[in-house]
Amino acid sequence: MALDNNVDILSWTYNDPAVWFEFVMDTAREAKKHGIRSLFKSAFFLSKEAVEQLCEVIDVFAISIKAIDEKYYHKFTKGWLKPVLDNTKIVHSKGIHYEISNLVVTGLTNTTENYDKMIDFILEELSPDIPIHFTRFHPDYKYMNYEKTPMEDVVAARNRALERGLRYAYIGNAFEGESLNSYCPECHEMLIERYGLHTFIKDSLDDFGVCTNCGYQTTINHIDRSLASKNWSEEEEERYEKI
């Protein structure tokens, strides 16, 4: 199906792909033979051995760290924090591309203290080049008593991350605003603009991930301009008709 539809990356998510680990391994391995990449989005509560196996076949990891707080993990996830952090370090040590997301839950983790703990972990144990996404929570299933995370909270988290030295910080489950975009860490030129599920790759980002405004080498890679327009004018010209 992926080959028939020219899919070049499989995204393993919802449910957490840890629950069908063997299927993911078999399929990702087979997909790789055909040039199809795999992305693994997970809470990453796995054994070290499982992560080592995944690293052989997965091209991108999206790691969801709920909070840098052992009590939070025990209370809300029934798991514990240390394996998640250790596994993240394993992926980091292998040079595989990964990004971290933190679900900002109203009433629980929408605090500066939580944001700082996440930022500290990345700065001290990983790298300021690792992208972090502060994602809005929405009420669902058994957690209906809290409101959707206010935009101000995730924007504040993202700004805090940038102020403290992380180079790529974003908000998630949000669909407009500058906090979705990618900027040059050096000169702050916009490199990639996002709106809804649309992406615009600007001329300010060359095919090697270099900012053409100041020459800074970003860590943005696998740039495929065929999947995106440059700007709204181009988008409107190509896809919209006047009536």
Where does this chain bind other proteins (CB under 8 A)? 13-14, 136, 138, 140, 148, 173, 175-176, 195-198, 232, 235-236, 239-243
In the complex, the smallest distance separating the C-beta of residue 206 from other proteins, rounded to whole angstroms, is 26
Catalogue the long-range contacts made by 201-209 (C-beta closer than 8 Å, 24 or more residues apart): 201/225, 201/228, 201/230, 202/230, 202/231, 203/230
- The pairing of strands 182-183 and 60-64 is unpaired
Residue 136 or residue 158: which is nearer to other proteins going by CB? 136
Q: Which residues, listed in sequence order, are joined to residue 39 by a DSSP beta bridge?
A: 11, 60
Residue burial 65-103, b: 16+ Cβ < 10 Å; e: rest: bbbbbeebbeeeeeeebebbeebbebbbeeeebbbbbbb
φ/ψ bin of 44: left (φ > 0), alpha (ψ from -120 to 50), beta (otherwise): left
User: Nearest approach, Cβ of 243 to other proteins (angstroms)?
Assistant: 6
Rounded CA separation 120/111 (Å):
14
Pull the structure tokens for residue 38: 């795999």
Q: Are 12 and 43 in contact (CB under 8 A)?
A: no
Cis upstream peptide for 6 (omega within 30°): no
The SS3 call for residue 80 is coil
Which residue's CB is nearer to other proteins, number 14 or number 124?
14
Residues 126, 68, 192: CA angle, nearest 5 degrees: 55
Name the residue nearer to other proteins (CB basis): 76 or 195: 195
CB of 241 to other proteins, least distance (A): 6
Q: Which is nearer to other proteins, 33 or 239 (CB)?
A: 239
Closer to other proteins by CB, 150 or 165: give it: 150
Rank residues 147 and 203 by Cβ distance to other proteins and give the closer one: 147
Smallest separation, CB 174 to other proteins (Å): 8
Instruction: Name which of 186 and 235 has its Cβ closer to other proteins.
Output: 235
